């Protein structure tokens, strides 16, 4: 059994990768487990706002991406353009790899491709984590286990999730298409049952990401095809995948030496394009708790995460609820465009984690 690490993190997405990087720079002994080979794509809109970009920059990470200055809402035959959006579209295959490479360079031990099986709390308070790579079984004993392995990822470690009953739990999906566009614009096509976002990627590609409140894979594919053909004249696309049970949250985000992070700690479909920034911010918050002298770190994370959700999730949740009534949503968007266009520049909020950047490569 390997006892060389203080913290083991499951999942090398933005949340897990940033947590590993932050902890390693602070002198923590970290192991990071990822079941997929990189680079790989994910079900994600790939938007990264100013908060997320600033966090990455402080850690010496500046991935290439296309700037998005305009947010365009469309419903039926009506469209509204809102400027000053200040986002960037970055492929997850690029972003996740750059964060991971920085973490490994900082001293993180990477297990990839390795799958998480289970964990148990030992009598001495340590967590025994069981992994496997093919037929090879791996056991690691650590003080802290962090599950950053996606929606409902904590269920594999005994966390209970509270979900809306089908068919009200939502279906998220992502696809790519080949198309050349000169517009630095994120197009959001609204329907009563959800929305579809289309944005340009480097290399004459489009990332297509959407959410259906009720539906399945075939419904999503039909939505993508009809939207692409009608608005862009594009018929072919590369389906990346979809995921259901999105409207779910764990009863607690920490228990018995294990912590939930990112989407595993509760998912809210971020129509505002804040998902990646949220993951990076949460990682820095948890990094501070893990490296602190706090005795009950589980309780500290429960309280900290609840406060984070209140300040960052609620505004997005309000906008998501408005989007369920596209006519009302478009009316309010027109008022913002006419009277308060400055509100768009602040749609990604402000970071709650500025004091936590101490220990980053470029922090003073």
pTM above 0.75, yes or no: yes
- 206: tokens are 């489009």
On average, the pLDDT of the chain sits at 87
Q: Which domains does the chain carry? A: 7-50+89-163+247-324+349-357 (3.50.50.60)
* Residue range 181-240, pLDDT digits in tens: 777 899 999 999 999 999 999 888 999 999 998 888 999 999 999 999 999 999 999 999
Q: Three-state SS for 180?
A: coil
Cα 274 off chain centre by: 8
Contact 270/48 with Cβ under 8 angstroms?
no
**Cβ burial, residue 281 (10 Å; 0-12/13-18/19+):** buried
The gap between the terminal CA atoms of the chain, to the nearest Å, is: 39
Percent of the chain whose pLDDT exceeds 90: 57
Can you tell me which residue has the tokens 């959407």? 210
State the pLDDT at residue 150: 86
Over residues 273-317, the pLDDT tens digits come to 788 999 999 999 999 999 999 999 999 999 999 999 888 777 777
Q: Is residue 73 classed exposed, middle or buried when 0-12, 13-18 and 19+ CB atoms within 10 A define those classes?
A: buried
User: 105 CB contacts (<8 Å, ≥6 apart)?
Assistant: none
- Residues whose CB is less than 8 angstroms from the CB of residue 121 and which lie 6 or more positions away in sequence, other chains included: 127, 128, 256, 257
Angstrom CA distances, 244 to 40, 170, 214, 279, stand at: 20, 6, 10, 20
DSSP-derived pairing of the beta strands 171-178 and 238-244: antiparallel
Task: Give φ, ψ of 225 to 5 degrees.
Answer: -60, -50
Please determine, for residue 360, whether its predicted confidence score (pLDDT) is greater than 50: no
Bridge partners, 141 (sequence order): 128
Which phi and psi angles does 49 have, rounded to 5°?
A: -80, 180
Which residues does 135 contact at the CB level (< 8 Å), separation at least 6? none
pLDDT value at 364 more than 60: no
150: left (phi over 0), alpha (psi -120 to 50) or beta: left
Closest CA to 33 of 59, 70, 2: 2
Rounded Cα–Cα distance for residues 307 and 313 (Å): 10
pLDDT tens-digit series, residues 61-75: 998 889 998 999 999
- 117-172 pLDDT, tens per residue? 999 988 888 899 999 999 999 999 999 999 999 877 888 788 887 765 555 568 88
Give the separation between CA 341 and CA 146, rounded to whole angstroms: 40
Question: H or E stretch including 112?
Answer: none
Helix intervals (H) in the chain: 14-25, 50-58, 92-105, 217-232, 275-290, 297-308, 314-322, 326-339
């Amino acid at each position: 059994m390997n006892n060389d690490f203080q913290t083991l993190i499951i999942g090398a997405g933005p949340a897990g990768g940033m947590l590993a990087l932050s902890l390693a720079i602070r002198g923590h002994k970290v192991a990071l487990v990822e079941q997929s080979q990189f680079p790989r794509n994910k079900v994600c809109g790939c938007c990264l706002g100013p908060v997320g970009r600033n966090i990455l920059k402080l850690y010496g990470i500046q991935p290439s991406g296309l700037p998005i200055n305009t947010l365009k809402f469309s419903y039926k035959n009506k469209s509204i353009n809102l400027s000053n959006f200040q986002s960037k579209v970055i492929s997850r295959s690029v972003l996740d790899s750059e964060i991971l490479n920085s973490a490994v360079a900082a001293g993180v031990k990477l297990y990839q491709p390795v799958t998480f099986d289970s964990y148990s709390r030992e009598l001495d308070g340590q967590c025994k984590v069981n992994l496997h790579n093919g037929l090879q079984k791996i056991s690691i004993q650590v003080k802290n286990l962090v599950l950053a392995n996606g929606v409902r990822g904590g269920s594999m470690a005994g966390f209970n999730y509270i979900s809306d009953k089908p068919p009200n739990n939502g279906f998220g999906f992502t696809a790519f298409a080949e198309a050349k566009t000169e517009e630095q614009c994120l197009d959001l096509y609204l329907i009563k049952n959800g929305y579809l976002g289309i944005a340009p990627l480097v290399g004459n590609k489009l990332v297509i990401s959407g959410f259906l409140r009720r539906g399945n894979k075939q419904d999503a594919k039909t939505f993508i095809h009809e939207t692409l053909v009608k608005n862009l004249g594009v018929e072919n696309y590369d389906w990346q995948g979809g995921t259901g049970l999105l409207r779910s949250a764990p009863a607690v985000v920490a228990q018995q030496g294990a912590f939930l992070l990112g989407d595993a700690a509760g998912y809210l479909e971020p129509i505002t394009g804040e998902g990646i920034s949220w993951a990076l911010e949460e990682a820095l918050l948890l990094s501070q708790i893990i490296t602190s002298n706090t005795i009950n770190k589980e309780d500290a994370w429960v309280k900290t995460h609840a406060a984070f959700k209140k300040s960052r999730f609620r505004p997005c949740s309000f906008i998501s609820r408005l989007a369920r009534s596209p006519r009302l949503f478009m009316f309010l968007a027109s008022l913002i465009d006419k009277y308060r266009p400055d509100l768009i520049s602040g749609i990604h909020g402000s970071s709650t984690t500025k004091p936590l950047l101490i220990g980053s490569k470029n922090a003073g």
